[in-house]
Amino acid sequence: MRRLNRKKTLTLMKELDAFPKVPESYVETSATGGTVSLIAFTTIAFLTIMEFTVYRDTWMKYEYEVDKDFTSKLRINIDITVAMRCQYVGADVLDLAETMVASADALIYEPVVFELSPQQKEWQRMLQVIQSRLQEEHSLQDVIFKSAFKSASTALPPREDNSLQSPDACRIHGHLYVNKVAGNFHITVGKAIPHPRGHAHLAALVSHESYNFSHRIDHLSFGELIPGIINPLDGTEKIASDHNQMFQYFITVVPTKLHTYKISAETHQFSVTERERVINHAAGSHGVSGIFMKYDISSLMVTVTEEHMPFWQFLVRLCGIIGGIFSTTGILHGFGRFVAEVIFCRFRLGSHRSTSVPLPDGHTSNHLPLITDNSTH
């Protein structure tokens, strides 16, 4: 009884077989079929390798939402070199609430030589090339996000030569914590002095001939400091053409949450518009000589997430490639054989057409004459 049930089960399973086997004696191979099979296998191998490359790659997903965090402080990372002595310049921040951030304790004023060493010039040149490429190809920003904490530090390399030249510039570097509102970070002549109505700079003791606001921005970023991230103003260098010259940078800061397979950080992206002009009160160009960075905080927050193709999706796409190639090549091969058979059949029919045979009554016969024994004699 058990054997009978087992045979019935096997018979039922055989009837449900969607992959029937054809005996080898019924299978006919051909040179064209072998050629098509070789092309199909080569195409499958190539597309499989390409699909595996896509599977290993990742992409960045951007999501936008309203930034609801207004109470936290905003960090500004600064590394700027001004072509003036440190005792002649002062830097501070003034926001819309007229709250001045005392920068004397937070920022470091370091006397340096403004001219870069050969190694530092090479670093600056490469950074400017990257900046120009980023302006043309915005997709490179995704590559920079992925390489954060993996690439070399983007900071200015230390000076390798022992310059005997006396310091003629001032490097202002460090970080500040400011309110998360629009503000103005500026570097101008004289140290800042706060007072109830704002602040002022002691510039009376500095002669106008000493004014030189040629500067180099080695680094400027907002939020958490992430090595490997290149910001829009990194590597910027401006040479003043006049003593009384104003350099303005209008910056829009966008809060950004970065989540990759390597890091998870809260930073800020920003865009910038530059403007410079010579201060000439007689010509109607009013203002104060110096470097002014006016920033504004965007109300939107961007979440950048690195995503990867799931393994199940990779398998589905791979099965689609293999099955699609086999089906397509089979259809094309069958259609090609059909066209070839039609053409060759017509050619054979044309070559075997009978010639006309004249009859005594003047008619013609298209039939071939019958071959008999008498006709052979």
Cα dihedral 9, 12, 14, 15 in deg (nearest 10):
180
Is the pTM higher than 0.85?
Answer: no
pLDDT band at 81, cuts 50/70/90? Answer: very high
The span from the CA of 199 to the CA of 240, in Å, is 26
Place of tokens 């009859």: 359
pLDDT for res 138: 64
CB 219 within 8 A of CB 132: no
Q: Is the pLDDT of residue 377 over 50?
A: no
Q: What is the mean pLDDT of the chain?
A: 78
What confidence score (pLDDT) does residue 353 get?
55
Helix axes 31-56, 311-351, angle to 10 degrees: 160
Share of the chain above pLDDT 70, in %: 76
What are the residue boundaries of the structural domains of the chain, listed by start?
Answer: 68-298
User: Could you read off the pLDDT of 324-349 as tens digits, one per residue?
Assistant: 888 888 888 778 777 777 787 766 66
**3-class SS of residue 234:** coil
What mean pLDDT is predicted for residues 26-33? 69
In this predicted structure, the answer to whether residue 145 has a pLDDT above a threshold of 90 is: no
The pair of structure tokens assigned to 157 is 């390399």
Q: Specify the 3-state DSSP secondary structure of 103.
A: coil
Please state, in angstroms and rounded to a whole number, the distance separating the CA atoms of residues 314 and 318.
Answer: 6
Q: Is 248 exposed, middle or buried (0-12, 13-18, 19+ CB in 10 A)?
A: middle
Instruction: Please check whether residue 287 is in contact with residue 244, taking contact to mean a CB–CB distance below 8 angstroms.
Output: no
What is the DSSP-derived secondary structure letter of residue 10?
Answer: H
The pLDDT score that the predictor gives to residue 216 is: 93
Distance CA 300, CA 86 (A): 38
| Residue 357 confidence (pLDDT) above 60 | no
pLDDT band at 274 (very low <50, low <70, confident <90, very high): very high
pLDDT grade for 269, boundaries at 50, 70 and 90:
confident
* pLDDT for residue 266 is more than 70: yes
Question: Is the confidence at residue 78, as pLDDT, over 70?
Answer: yes
Q: What's the rounded mean pLDDT across residues 313-331?
A: 87
Across residues 201-225, what is the average pLDDT? 81
Vertex 236: Cα angle to 232 and 237 (nearest 5):
165
Q: Give me the DSSP letters along 171-188.
A: EEEEEEEE-SS-EEEEEE
**80-89, 244-253, 256-265, 358-367: the lowest-pLDDT one:** 358-367
Three-state DSSP class for residue 348: helix
pLDDT of residue 248: 93
CB 226 within 8 A of CB 149: yes
